[in-house]
Amino acid sequence: MNLPDQDRAVRAPVPGTERAVPLGSRLIRPADSDERIQVTVYLRQNPTAEGAGTDNAAPVEPPSTREEFIARFGADPQEMANVLAFADDYGLEAAEHDLARRLVILTGTLGALGNAFGVELWEYEFPEGTFRGHEGPVTVPIELEGIIVNVRGLTMKRMRA
């Protein structure tokens, strides 16, 4: 799951995805790169939408249709298409994508997801069970910097019964 140095150089960290291994955890092994999981990728609000990025205190008329909601609060269709193309480039499948909710649910192997998001996934043991995790931030190609605002589902805890 190691990325070539030139690939790391053209990647950007996704803010808020930085991870550190919790104290008291013990590295067990690399995560099974063939295990299939789903992750949820969140996109920013369409930056060209009316009122995007502002904190207007004035009340506004709520959207009356889904299309109006997407136009005002959803993801940019071209940015969504770029995220879907990125996923395809890494061999990931888009199980779902929704402009209104600004998300893409991706399915793939841990190996493909690790490569796509620039992380090495490991299995750890901690007093309450085991977990799959990574150190450092999730990264994306520089073209998607600021467009992908979060990635959820790469890490997972398994608690002892």
How confident is the model over 112-117, as a mean pLDDT? 98
Q: Which amino acid is at 57?
A: A
How confident is the model over 131-136, as a mean pLDDT? 94
Q: Which amino acid is at 108?
A: G
d(CA 135, CA 1): 13
Q: Nearest 5 degrees, angle CA 13-CA 14-CA 15?
A: 105
pTM of the model: 0.87
How confident is the model over 6-26, as a mean pLDDT? 83
Q: Taking Cα atoms as reference points, which of 13, 31, 12 lies closest to residue 124?
A: 31
Q: Is the pLDDT of residue 57 over 80?
A: no
- H or E element: which one contains 154? none
Q: Taking Cα atoms as reference points, which of 104, 146, 158, 117 lies closest to residue 19?
A: 117
d(CA 116, CA 153): 14
CA 155 distance to own-chain centroid: 11
How confident is the model over 134-159, as a mean pLDDT? 95
Q: Is the pLDDT of residue 53 over 70?
A: no
Percent of the chain predicted with pLDDT > 90: 73
How confident is the model over 47-64, as a mean pLDDT? 71
Q: Is the pLDDT of residue 60 over 80?
A: no
pLDDT given for residue 116 in this prediction: 98
pLDDT given for residue 51 in this prediction: 61
